[in-house]
Homo-oligomer: A and B are copies of this chain.
């Protein structure tokens, strides 16, 4: 399995991926799922991938040389010369379709779904940052102010903290912390998501990043974050008043229009 998450803020973008790949439970390997494409000052792009590893590796390989015809008759469009992230995402969609054309039918014959899920974001000089989620058919959607993050892979464990914290105004450092906590929840609940992590933080309008790190079990910050978050969560939990069963108290007092369940006390009791 995999967990990757990316967020687009006013201040920049943050990308985070795990690196565990498994075929069943007994064949577990480390493969990195992030790739950063950069021409400093001109373009910064980050691709995160989930799904079948043979498909995502092929997509990445093909993406390096994939070309779209320029409707104006100019040079073919690649991720390296695209004038917009939208065009770069189209190039990526096209790479996905090429892999599908090559492998889709043979995979289907083996009962394997063509399964690729990608997050692709960044900035090309001359336009704002953009963040896309690209699906198996090569189509894609774009993050907006209302939905500033995308997750792929094992996304549910780590979603509650993102829902609570992330808005377009979240500062970069805070978003980085939030994504690492989201990853921590996922690591804790799903063994098939594993360290090390790749983290890339991009500041708006720089078209380059020097904040790309690999985080493993020895990383002091992640270590601190995991243990502090666990302890703070527990403290937060302990500070919430426990329920009491006083029949006029806040938990047990009748409220609204829904009665408590009627108990079934006999085989002849009707259920409805």
List residues of chain A with CB under 8 Å of any chain B CB: 32, 34-40, 60-61, 64-65, 78, 80, 156-157, 159-161, 163-165, 173-174, 176-178, 180-181, 185, 188-189, 196, 198, 200-201, 210-222, 224-225, 228-230, 232-237, 239-245, 249-253, 255-261, 263-269, 271
Contacts and interface: CB of A to CB of B under 8 A. Distances in A.
Nearest to A185: B160
A3 to B, nearest CB: 11
B264 A35 contact: yes
Contacts of A261: 32, 34-36, 198, 200, 212, 214
Given A36-B264, A219-B256, 14 more contacts: A64-B264, A157-B157, A157-B159, A164-B234, A178-B237, A212-B263, A214-B258, A219-B255, A224-B240, A228-B239, A229-B236, A232-B236, A232-B239, A235-B236
A38 B264 contact: yes
B234 A249 contact: no
A157 B164 CA distance: 13
A189 B156 contact: yes
A244 to B, nearest CB: 7
Given A220-B253, A255-B219, A271 B35 contact: yes
A176 to B, nearest CB: 5
A260 B178 contact: no
Contacts of A258: 196, 214, 216
